[in-house]
Structure 1
């Protein structure tokens, strides 16, 4: 019989965390923020590049400022480094902060009305 203790790959996956704001404010460019996120994640550049399906040379160009981080791999990057550092820098550079999205009152009312209408249709049928 195999237990979870015998399979070390099965376990709790660490959540994606925020990087302290004072560290984000020290980043001068996107490449600095990418490097900060990698360092906070305690991984090598090569490991992160492999995790997100990017050539290590391309990640090096992003960090040095000769290329930009593609937005379509942003979530993969955050998952690889286990933090929102680069995303926080993007928001910070626009004078904003990265916060979890919440449902507005209008959105909630619309969702509930739609669900209610669907349930009424099912009850009639």
Structure 2
């Protein structure tokens, strides 16, 4: 059997890495999910949960995609509320961010490249 494929569950697989299921922090022994090209996170956030502090000095490009709920993203250049399934926002290096789940929310975050920050 080829070792360059994988099937799993995002919620289960992300438990070891705060929701991240692809990226540089996945051990090479875990196979194809270990990569420096991209990071993917499955985020399940109860209403009222928020980031403790602003994330600053970002060196990657990021996309946040709403699966369900209502999720506010605060960027150093403005704020956006994702409220319709499929709403998303993309921001580049140098833009600081913070967030809050206004309702129980599920989001997918994609960042590239996958680098130590």
TM-score of Structure 1 vs Structure 2, range by shorter chain: under 0.3
Q: Considering fraction of residues, name the structure with more helix.
A: 1
Larger Rg: 1
Normalised to the residue count of structure 1, the TM-score between the two structures is: 0.25
